[in-house]
Amino acid sequence: MAEFIEIKNLHFSYGKEESKQQDDVLCGVDLTVRKGEYVAILGRNGSGKSTLAKLLNLVIDDLENASGEILVDGVNILSDDMTEDMAFELRKKVGMVFQNPDNQLVATVVEEDVAFGPENLGLDPKEIRRRVDEALDTVGMSEFAKREPHRLSGGQKQRVAIAGVIAMMPDCIIFDESTAMLDPVGRKDIVATMEKLNREHGITVLTITHYMEEAVRADRVVVLNHGKIAIEGTPEQVFSDAGALRAAGLELPQCAQLIEELIKSGMSIKECGITPEDCARIILLAGGATCQ
């Protein structure tokens, strides 16, 4: 698979040059995301994860404070030659879904909102119609096409926001804490939608969150702490390193914590279980071995 996003030695801080404090928000991030990959970026509040997301779409204050390189599809978006038109092209390729579903819906009718992006791209009305219908179908919101967004639940609003991004047919979608304000039902819906977009539509997904459970299905997990990458690997690798996770201000999923405790109590377990199903299977296996 080809590299889609390549971040090299990225530094960033907010504020003016003269008043610049020592605490950089991002200090030397190196990260590569391949086309079609599903990557979860985990980190506590203030770890710099949202800043990273906003930089990838060039929607951040004090952009001039960024140093290093961010290559998106081969173009260095931090270079001085970056024009408004190039930024427009970037945003066509990399879509974003934010935290508060209310603050990203523009129109008073669901389908009009989904059409907003394609309309900005200057597409033919018929093509917009086709994309809107398809996008609403993908997120399972077709029956709500004519509804008013403010009457929908949080999860439904967020699915409309996702449809609005899909309708622009981006190569990559960044979810910037898109589940943080939702209830468990809404959260599951959105995580399932992310997975579907990645597996069935081949869209590169970058999800930024502090909910461990949402990182379980990702191809790769990157843990950010104090503006640096603290841990990187498959979900199994990352979640079996409890010490490093806690040092980064995060906590293991409950099932993994249970296994950790059982190991301390003398059970011989080598695997790491994150979902209840895995966890139960591992315990039964290890229990059998211990009882023999």
Binding residues among 154-213 for another protein as defined by CB under 8 A: 154, 164-165, 168, 177, 180-181, 183-186, 210
Q: Please, what is the minimum distance in Å from the beta carbon of residue 1 to another protein?
A: 25
Please give the full DSSP string across 122-154, using - where no structure is assigned. Answer: T--HHHHHHHHHHHHHHTT-GGGTTS-GGGS-H
With respect to another protein, which residue has the nearer C-beta, 26 or 90?
A: 90
**Within 7-36, which residues bind another protein (CB under 8 A)?**
none
Q: Which stretch binds another protein (CB under 8 A): 1-9, 20-28, 124-132, 236-244?
A: 124-132
Q: Specify whether the CB–CB gap between 98 and 173 falls below 8 A.
A: no
With respect to another protein, which residue has the nearer C-beta, 30 or 260?
A: 260
Which residues, 6 or more positions from 72, have their beta carbon under 8 angstroms from its beta carbon? Answer: 4, 5, 56, 90, 93, 94
Instruction: Determine if 75 is a binding residue for another protein (CB under 8 A).
Output: no
Which residues, 6 or more positions from 26, have their beta carbon under 8 angstroms from its beta carbon? Answer: 10, 11, 12, 13, 48, 51, 52, 55, 227
Which residues, 6 or more positions from 184, have their beta carbon under 8 angstroms from its beta carbon? Answer: none
With respect to another protein, which residue has the nearer C-beta, 36 or 164?
A: 164
Q: Distance between CA atoms of 173 and 201, rounded to whole angstroms?
A: 12
User: Which of 149, 169, 189, 223 touches another protein by CB under 8 A?
Assistant: 149
Instruction: Determine if 40 is a binding residue for another protein (CB under 8 A).
Output: no
User: Which of 15, 137, 151, 234 touches another protein by CB under 8 A?
Assistant: 151
Q: Please, what is the minimum distance in Å from the beta carbon of residue 9 to another protein?
A: 25
Q: Please, what is the minimum distance in Å from the beta carbon of residue 191 to another protein?
A: 14
Q: Please, what is the minimum distance in Å from the beta carbon of residue 283 to another protein?
A: 6
User: Which of 15, 20, 23, 59 touches another protein by CB under 8 A?
Assistant: 59
Contacts of the segment 62-66: beta carbons below 8 A, 24+ positions apart: 62/13, 62/14, 62/15, 62/16, 65/12, 65/13, 65/14, 65/15, 65/17, 65/20, 66/10, 66/11, 66/12
Instruction: Determine if 96 is a binding residue for another protein (CB under 8 A).
Output: yes
**Within 240-269, which residues bind another protein (CB under 8 A)?**
249-251, 253-255, 257-258, 261-262, 265-267
SS3 202: coil
Q: Please, what is the minimum distance in Å from the beta carbon of residue 162 to another protein?
A: 12
